[in-house]
Copies of this chain bind each other. A is one copy, B any other.
Amino acid sequence: MALQIVAPQTHPDTYFGAVPPSPVFSEPQTHGHRLIAIADRLATEYRNVAVGAELAAFLESEKFLFVVMDGWMFRNAILEDGRRQILDLMLPGDMIVGRRSGYTEVSQSIDAITDATVALIPIHLVSEVIQEMPSLALTLLAASQDALYASYESLVDTGRRTSLEAVAHFLVRIEARAANSIGRTANGTVSFPLIQEHIGDAIGLTAVHVCRTLRKLKTAGVIEMGRGWLKIVDRGRIAEIAGIWEDTGFETEHPVRRLAS
């Protein structure tokens, strides 16, 4: 049937329909291309969200699955006094799944960083299609896990890295996602529409401190930035600053204090 195109090529030994590691690129594969294909098939509505506008989605989040088709968005949490935490960035191919919330949870919204387009897929339609194509559910699960692991990275940046480490690590992560979703220009520049306030709100800093931190990275020749773009000049150096170590996949002994218990 026509929908076969969205079915991941899996075999029993492949974890949850994940694509095999690419031998060429070091960026992690995302499920974005697959989600976009799904949205093309199942969306009943497309919605445009202007720069700075909010996707009035959370009241209907139990009715639709959202897939970002174009532009940059972010999910943020807002405290009563205006403090704000960006929970995740959403690039084309990322999805938004609502959830019945408990009373302890902070209110969220989805905002557009650039003009953006979102596909709306009715939840009941997703459920129906899954009945005949269970692999769709596995794709959604994998995408959900991607978001979870991205959130974990933000948590480490925010909780346990210094501002310099956190900013460097954040830039590496987002640059990779942007490259993966949108691509780099020939000279290695990626689209990067975030302002310093966005960066600060994503990793728990103020815009002022982000500014000072970025300056260090710029004057050290590690990155170049302008309005709307980013170029990572010295990947080795920024990885070092960010505390990224080539991981072989094998557990190494950490010479660390152990949490006793």
Contact = CB atoms under 8 A, between A and B. Distances in A.
Interface in A87-127: 87, 97-108, 111-113, 123-124, 127
Interface in A136-190: 137-138, 140-142, 144-149, 151-156, 158-161, 169, 172-173, 176
A156 B82 contact: no
Interface residues on A, range: 35 or more
A181 B151 CA distance: 24
Interface of A: 10, 12-13, 15-16, 18, 21, 26-28, 51-52, 56, 58-59, 62-63, 75-85, 87, 97-108, 111-113, 123-124, 127-128, 130-131, 134, 137-138, 140-142, 144-149, 151-156, 158-161, 169, 172-173, 176, 195, 197-198, 201, 203-204, 242-247, 249-252, 254-261
5 contacts: A12-B128, A15-B100, A106-B243, A131-B134, A134-B137
What 8 A-B pairs come out closest when comparing CB atoms?
Answer: A28-B102, A159-B204, A137-B137, A82-B256, A144-B144, A151-B151, A15-B62, A12-B124
